[in-house]
Amino acid sequence: MQEGSGKSRAEAAKLPTALALAGLLVTCPAWIPITTHAAAGEVRRTLYVSPTGLDSSDGTKAKPFRSILAASKRAQPGTVIHVGPGLYAGGFQTTASGNAGAHILYVSDVRGGAKIVGAGPPEGEGAGWSNRGDYVDVRGFEIDGSGPHALKWQIGFYNGGSNCTFGNSIVHDILTDPTAYYSAESSGNGGAGILMDRYYGGFDGIADGNRVYNIGPPSERSNLVHGIYVTESGTISNNVVYNVAGIGVHLWHGAERIRILNNTIDNARAGGIEVGSGDSGGSSTTGDYVVVANNIVVNSGRGIYEWGTTGVHNIYENNQLYGNSESNVSLHHGLKALGTVIADPQFVNAAAHDYRLREDSPAFGRGALNDAAKAVSR
């Protein structure tokens, strides 16, 4: 492993959240710079949403909309929708699309300040926020499924579009109510904190820099309710996932061509990272071209493993595993997990969910700065 970062262990320990094996010193900072995909010289349209706004307004800064949904209906390629701090009714579906040169961006002006809460039956896929648009970026929101009107949410954030990013957000307390949880289990649909889905043809989805926790009741173990559920191609990176009834990062159906990089997973009761495919959308060639590198999985049922149909081109490199009760690594086709570290990562305070690495962490200097971490599985 190359060090390559230029930061000392002491400096790294001061970072807000060191998620990955610390050769990369990947962090989840208070704010991630926003890329809006604007074409050179383009004049962008800006809309505003505020708890004090009205949906009959024009969406200007002086006369903001009240709901994210109302703003989405006015969005065009290149629109930036600024959402101010406050509570917003969840259970809605956005359908507006940008294009390759001009994404639509929904941004909470304060990370976690714009909070999506339950306010009635969810539309679309039973999600707090369901997106069906293409070329859409959603950044900085909190999706809270703990309220009485959010109990029917099966998913925190759902993406069915292509070339979309859900990033730097907080998703928590989805399906924690036992009655709602057992209903989702018995239906066979399950649920997730984040679902990046190919069902509607979506591809190249990114979930990056999110904190996902309390998914499913705390005493349950599930094969259907997961932290981040992925069926479309893309990248799952720099996320912190903990207290999950099912699997931390779960690949299934027709999942293929996915990178899982620099995530920290703690107490995913069924397993940390599952790579596989099957059921609707699966084929003899899915579950392949997956890269799993620089992740930490602790205190889970299984660590990193393959299930169902998988291929021979998957790469597993420089992951750290510890305290997983059933197995650390289990792969098909004779594949090897290279550079695996089996040791306590020495978090600053895991009990308080402070997953920064201490100065004596064996994770320092063990992240991969090579083709496995950088590989584009397309």
Domain extent for 44: 9-374
Does the residue 264 lie in any domain? Answer: yes
Of 260, 274, 178, 261, nearest in space to 226 by CA: 274
Decide if 4 is inside a domain: no
Among left, alpha and beta (phi > 0; psi -120 to 50; other), residue 24 is alpha
**Structurally, how many domains does the chain consist of?**
1
155: domain CATH number is 2.160.20
Q: Helices marked H in the chain — which ranges?
A: 9-13, 68-72, 178-187, 371-374
- DSSP per-residue string spanning 260-281: EES-EEEEESSEEEEEEEBSTT
* pLDDT at residue 354, as a whole number: 97
Q: How far is CA 101 from CA 28, 165, 245, 281, in A?
A: 27, 15, 39, 30
Residue 327 β-bridge partners: 302
Residue 185 has φ and ψ, to the nearest 5°, of -65, -45
Residue 3 lies in a domain: no
Digitized pLDDT (tens) for each residue of the chain, 378 residues in all: 222 333 443 343 333 333 444 433 333 333 333 444 544 444 469 999 999 999 999 999 999 999 999 999 999 999 999 999 999 999 999 999 999 999 999 999 999 999 999 876 666 678 999 999 999 999 999 999 998 878 889 999 999 999 999 999 999 999 999 988 988 888 888 899 999 999 999 999 999 999 999 999 998 999 999 999 999 999 999 999 999 999 999 999 999 999 999 999 999 999 999 999 999 999 999 999 999 999 999 999 999 999 999 999 999 999 999 999 999 999 999 999 999 999 999 999 999 999 999 999 998 777 765 555 445 443
pLDDT at 266: 98
- Residue 364's pLDDT is 78
Quote the pLDDT of residue 252: 97
Instruction: Give a yes or no: residue 34 inside a domain.
Output: yes
Region for residue 86 given its phi and psi (left: phi exceeds 0; alpha: psi -120 to 50; beta: otherwise): left
Task: List, edge to edge, every strand of the sheet that includes 320-322.
Answer: 86-89, 114-117, 142-144, 170-174, 211-215, 240-244, 264-268, 296-298, 320-322, 341-342
pLDDT at 262: 97
Q: Which residues of 101-117 are buried (b: 16+ CB within 10 A; e: fewer)?
A: ebbbbbbbeebbebbbb
Q: Which of 209, 165, 170 is nearest to 17 (CA)?
A: 209
Is residue 207 one of the residues assigned to a domain?
yes
Predicted local distance difference test score (pLDDT) of residue 370: 52
Give the pLDDT of residue 33. 39
Supply the pLDDT for residue 119. Answer: 79
For residue 214, what pLDDT is reported? 98
Find residue 108's DSSP bridge partners: 83
- Residue 313 inside a domain? The answer is yes
Q: How many CB atoms lie within 10 A of CB 377?
A: 18
pLDDT number for residue 78: 97
Amino acid letter, residue 4: G
- Closest to 321 in 3D by CA, of 257, 259, 248, 373: 248
246: in domain: yes
Q: Residue 119 carries which side chain, given as an amino acid letter?
A: A
94 found inside a domain: yes
